Amino acid sequence: MALLEQSPFDLAKERRIVVIADWLPPDFGAVGQYMQMRAQALAEQGHAVTLVGLTTGTGTRGYRERGRGALTEIRLSARPVPRGSLLGRMLWTIVTNLRLLFAAFGPLRAADGILFTGSPPFLIHLLVPLKPLWKGRLVYRITDFHPECLIAARDRPSRALNLLLRLTNFWRRRVDSFEVLGQDQRRRLQATGVPGERITLVRDGSPVAFAADGRTEPLPADLAGKCVLLYSGNYGVAHEIETVLRGYELHHREGSGRVHLWLSATGAGADEIAEVLKSAGLPFHRSSPVPLDKLAGLLRAPAAHLVTLRDSFVGYVMPSKIYACVDSGKPVLFVGSADSDVHLLAQAAPAGYWRVSCGDFRGFAEALEDLAGRPEHQNP
């Protein structure tokens, strides 16, 4: 892995920390998982941390001492994001952000440091205008860029989104500090006018540890004995689909057809791939993402991992799954640009790495043939 810049909160100056995120474990959401780990680590270092997030279960408030500090978790019960409607998503975001702000308002006023993320999006439009009320340093961990992601997902320009982007950049330039997940995000952020000295690279790392004697989850019955390519996690609008579909079909129509795709995934992209492959009569397996305590075992199970990212989202989205995929000890197949930090990190995959440009479906099929042709995947 690349060397990390770290900018921890100063215990002497910033003892009381508020962390705001979206879905907290056991609900599925990478940002919430990482922010819970971050809050726990800060508490163990001696900070008094308040973590505010969402749950699909019953809302709760809990306090416990942790290490040299303490952690208070405030979980707000919320319904899932309505994916089928842009208007519905925007209304959900507005209401949810207001609820998070009101739930955290007291701790925010008392905090010496405030850490918020890009999930839920647009929280910056509440926290920065109210900055005179906060005495603590405002730190934006910019997981995904919004509204840039909405703009990148559209086929045509939107005047409303362009105006929202201008307003967002206005508020960004007034944030005290930023944490970015990659050098590609640093470049994007500096292009909006944020001074480089306010930006620190703090990578996520793997959310799970891979013990030498750790359990490997068994392959699904219909994949037993196969050379399996696994896509795990969220497969959404930012992830490349067409190259995977056309390359996978080419591998099975004209190639050896020995690699079988396993989607342990949610999201519109996973739904589309499953629908197309089913209609085409091509083999694949679909399952839900596993709980965090089973993730290490799942990631040890396949022959290789698939990671994808559309070119228009480079620097706006950083697929955090890459850390665990690399640490699993399995090869990585990345469909995306060499300008993405996914490429920078995946080159460290100890068992091998392929990168295929978006649109190069023949290159994807060739990578599958290379994977299937490895000695460990040959029939005895």
> Can 16-201 and 221-373 be said to share one CATH topology?
yes
All structural domains of the chain with their residue ranges = 16-201, 221-373
Instruction: Please give the Cα distance from 1 to 345 (Å, whole number).
Output: 6
Q: Looking at residue 356, what is its pLDDT?
A: 98
Give residue 192's pLDDT. Answer: 94
| Residues 6+ positions from 163 with CB-CB distance below 8 Å | none
User: Span 16-201: which CATH code?
Assistant: 3.40.50.2000
Contact call for residues 202 and 5 (beta carbons, < 8 A): yes
pLDDT by position in tens, the chain (length 380): 333 445 578 888 999 999 999 999 999 888 999 999 999 999 999 999 999 999 999 999 999 999 999 999 999 999 998 877 878 888 999 999 999 999 999 999 999 999 999 899 999 999 999 999 999 999 999 999 999 999 999 888 899 999 999 999 999 999 999 999 999 999 999 999 999 999 999 998 888 889 888 899 999 999 999 999 999 999 999 999 999 999 999 999 999 999 999 999 999 999 999 999 999 999 999 999 988 889 999 999 999 999 999 999 999 999 989 999 999 999 999 999 999 999 999 998 989 999 999 999 999 999 999 999 998 776 54
pLDDT at 6: 55
pTM of this structure: 0.90
- Looking at residue 306, its pLDDT comes to 98
Query: Strands 227-234 and 304-308: what pairing?
Result: parallel
Cβ(235)–Cβ(267) below 8 Å: yes
Going by CATH, does the domain composed of 221-373 fall within 3.20.20.70? no
What are the tokens at 149?
């992601």
Phi, psi of 82 (to 5 degrees): -75, 100
In this predicted structure, what is the pLDDT of residue 4? 43
Task: Give the DSSP H or E segment for 88.
Answer: helix 86-110
The angle subtended at Cα 371 by Cα 370 and Cα 377, nearest 5°, is 120
Q: Which of 319, 231, 235, 267 is CA-nearest to residue 80?
A: 267
